[in-house]
Structure 1
Amino acid sequence: MAPVTGGARDAVAGVAAAEVVAPSTAGEVAEVLRSTRGSVVPVGAGTKTGWAAPPSSCDLLLRTSGLDRIVEHVPGDLIAVAEAGVPLNALQRRLAEHGQMLALDPPEEGATLGGIVGANASGPRRLRYGTVRDLLIGVRVVLADGTDARAGGKVVKNVAGYDLGKLYTGAHGALGVVVSTVWRLHPLPKATGAVVVPVADGAQAGRLAALVARSTLTPTAVELRFHDGARELVLLFESIEASVRAQSAEAVRLLGGGERASAPPAWFGRRPEGPLVLRLAYAPAALPHILAALPGGACGTASACTGVAYAAVPEETDLAALRAAIAPYDGSAVLVASREPRDAADHWGPTADSFGLMTRVKDQFDPARRLSPGRLLGGL
């Protein structure tokens, strides 16, 4: 395995790598970790490196793009096994040939399965299908000392051993290198429809979202867009044709209006762009309060029934004040993009009560603290 180079791409969140490698097997990943004494930062396609704080050092950038094999697809069991470097869109094309899909829809073009796990990335369809933690049923990882570890299996219900899949989801490579994944699949929907409802303000958006949440409707997603003072709520329905028609009609009646469409608007599922972009999490019922706390000029989207939003805010936004304003609503604000890299405290915000447990987990899996050092909450 020879070192690779990629020019300006050989950096993570502004921190240049001294060396770059792209192993093509789990064994090569293990050998890299056993033979390297310095810091190692694993990345996939690099589409979400800004989702974690900059590493304190990067002696070796380990790209998982060489781990690019779809190992197995069992349509009858609705499962697929694929290596970490497989792009999500490549897996979706393969599954679509059998009328199936992996029900994750992060919008980053070229995102790989390992990167999606590491960043815990999902999209609007999380309302119906859940997130990475719900759909990942098995994982193979290489630990910091080169140990090959596996958890879960090729069945939807598996209770044997520790659930490493959940532990590695959102870990940004700080606990080990994900080399292979096992996924629960779903059938592709036969029909799609949307209802678009203009809303006057955050309070009305909250009321309409609450109506949907308490109803018998089963939308795949309920997304709110706020931009330049305009707001619109979109309900996405995916099912058989008769169900999509009936639910769309009921949604218009329930919400007191709305325009029916065969597909959601072009902005649906996209992240906002700007010099400072935040991922907000909060109690779903607090949507109006979260929108009111955002500074003037903020724009973005909110998954109105799940309590997740992405907002582009002015670069001069006082993050500490914003975090304090949304904290009473179980709110948090994490950077996912910024013009200049921020330190861990500014990136993640205050440490949580669980920080002690997180520290012990990090020390158990990576006692030398050389995997993605400094990227997690509190500089872990």
Structure 2
Amino acid sequence: MGTSTTAVKRAASGGIGQRLAEICGERFVRPAGMADGVAGASASWVAAPGTAQAVSAVMRVAADHALSVVPRGAGTKMDWGAPPSRVDVVLDTGRLAGVWHHSADDLVAEVGAGTPVRAVQAALAQADRRLPLDVPSPDATIGGMVAADETGPLRHRHGSAGDRLHGLSYVDAAGVLHHVGGWSAGETAGFDLARLLCGSNGALGVLVSATLRVQPIPVSRLWVSRPVRSPLEMHDLVRLIHGAWLSPAAIEVDLPKDGDDGGFGPGPSAAGSLAVLLEGGQADVGGRVARLVELLGADCRVDTRAPTWWGRYPFAADDVALRIDVPAADLHAALYSMTDAAGLPVPIRGSAGLGVVYAALPGYVAPEQIGSILTVVRRVLLARNGRCVVLAAPPRIREQIDFWGQLPTLPLLRQVKNRFDPRHRLAPGRYTGGL
């Protein structure tokens, strides 16, 4: 999908580049290049405002010229999701960086949207604090994490970015800066509405900063790992762990496609692994680890470091990347259905304890076959109150598959989009359901 020619001509005649340069500074505005595309859609301009007020001014310029805007952090997930119908301006949030306010007593921190998550962790660690969010994208920013609703293994105990939110500052499509929640009393009005920005892919507002709940760094962290041969064995082990009241911080599974049976058959292959993270005081963790090892058997291994696959996606750039959400008790059924539909082993990795996992289908498969696999898996998941969404796909497949499947909430989502962005200028087509 290309950029709107009419909008670009209108912008050029109005001196859009000059206006953006006056707001951001000449060094921080440029014509877009090949690397600035969004899921295959080309952009016209890249602007990097340095303050919340500058973000508002950029959005007002875009509104004046009827230009579409797609926010970008580090760009780690710009190929995720459906392509926008047009991209006139990529709004780079990289200059909105830093831990702006941190109160150790209140255990909250306000962080600029363009701040890399790992930089936040390093800054908080100086005060023996951490953000209990461990996103798999190594260079992800706070804004990108929130916009994609990206989570890692610690979501098992601590939830998603939305669950850690204490406040948000964002700019709407008209260029109005909003503050909800956060430090000042009386700022809670509209907070539930603002949380809708989580997972919106920048289609509802431009995130300027997030105030997040932090916590002390645990004294002790130990991983207990055990081989698994099949989704059913994984299911049985997770049920045992849940029933033992061990308060794990995370329960992750890795079922790779290598091995004699890909980890899905009844044979002797043990291609997969189940790993449990326990955190807390040293004596407390030691006691819980001992009980867990007794529960899981002699094949267990205890480590002070995570397995090499921990917190990493199972897909590569040329794969079709999927996210599956289903009650943990039904996860094994969804995995079997995917393998049966694909006719080949499918690598799976993610939170076995919550039923939130990621899968990779090979990008060389025909788009119609990918569509058939998705149809089968979504039918199985629908009966179990689950869903399967496509996160990313190669260009030849991207335009021919349904990213979301059946969406009973689509009318409500359309109302949300119209409430935040009535003219559909913020990342048009990127919101759930292609809105």
Length-normalised TM-score, structure 1: 0.95
Name which of 247, 253, 263 aligns with 2:288: 247
Provide the identity percentage.
Answer: 38
Gapped runs of 5+ residues in structure 1? none
Q: Confirm whether residue 361 of structure 1 aligns to residue 416 of structure 2.
A: yes
Q: What residue identity is the alignment partner of 1:373?
A: P
What's the RMSD between the two structures over aligned residues?
1.9
What is aligned with 2:338? 294
What is aligned with 2:362? 314
What is aligned with 1:267? 309
Residues 187, 144 of structure 1: alpha-carbon distance in 2 compared, 3 angstrom cutoff: same
Checking the alignment, whether the CA contact within 8 Å between 2:81 and 2:392 is kept in structure 1 is no
In 1, the alpha carbon distance for the partners of 2:422 and 2:132 equals 35
CA apart distance, 1:375: 0.8
Q: Deviations over 1:203-245 (max 9, x none)?
A: 1110110111122101111001101221111011111211221
In 1, the alpha carbon distance for the partners of 2:86 and 2:351 equals 35
What is aligned with 2:393? 338
Gapped runs of 5+ residues in structure 2? 1-23, 263-270
CA apart distance, 1:327: 2.1
In 2, the alpha carbon distance for the partners of 1:155 and 1:266 equals 42
Pairwise mapping of residues 85-104 of structure 1 onto structure 2 (< 5 A)? 85-104=114-133
What is aligned with 1:15? 41
Q: What residue identity is the alignment partner of 1:246?
A: G
CA apart distance, 1:96: 0.1
Larger CA deviation: 223-232 vs 294-303: 294-303
Name which of 39, 52, 71 aligns with 1:42: 71
Checking the alignment, whether the CA contact within 8 Å between 1:103 and 1:185 is kept in structure 2 is yes
Residues 359, 183 of structure 1: alpha-carbon distance in 2 compared, 3 angstrom cutoff: same
Residues 203, 112 of structure 1: alpha-carbon distance in 2 compared, 3 angstrom cutoff: same
Checking the alignment, whether the CA contact within 8 Å between 2:338 and 2:376 is kept in structure 1 is no
Residues 149, 299 of structure 1: alpha-carbon distance in 2 compared, 3 angstrom cutoff: same
Q: SS where residue 51 of structure 1 aligns?
A: coil
Structure possessing the higher relative contact order (Cα contacts under 8 Å, 6 or more residues apart): 1
Rg comparison, structure with higher value: 2
Checking the alignment, whether the CA contact within 8 Å between 1:67 and 1:86 is kept in structure 2 is yes
Length-normalised TM-score, structure 2: 0.83
Q: SS where residue 90 of structure 1 aligns?
A: helix
Q: Deviations over 1:275-329 (max 9, x none)?
A: 1111111111112102201232211313111110011123323322322233222
Residues 276, 4 of structure 1: alpha-carbon distance in 2 compared, 3 angstrom cutoff: same
Q: SS where residue 17 of structure 1 aligns?
A: coil
Identify, as 1 or 2, the structure richer in strand. Answer: 1
* Count of matched residue positions in the alignment of Structure 1 and Structure 2: 379
CA apart distance, 1:5: 5.2
Q: What residue identity is the alignment partner of 1:232?
A: S
Residues 156, 348 of structure 1: alpha-carbon distance in 2 compared, 3 angstrom cutoff: farther
Q: What residue identity is the alignment partner of 1:236?
A: L
In 2, the alpha carbon distance for the partners of 1:156 and 1:52 equals 37
Pairwise mapping of residues 96-245 of structure 1 onto structure 2 (< 5 A)? 96-154=125-183, 159-227=188-256, 228=258, 229=262, 230-245=271-286
In 1, the alpha carbon distance for the partners of 2:137 and 2:418 equals 32
Q: What residue identity is the alignment partner of 1:8?
A: M
Q: What residue identity is the alignment partner of 2:427?
A: S
What is aligned with 1:31? 57
What is aligned with 2:428? 373
Residues 140, 158 of structure 1: alpha-carbon distance in 2 compared, 3 angstrom cutoff: closer
CA apart distance, 1:157: 12
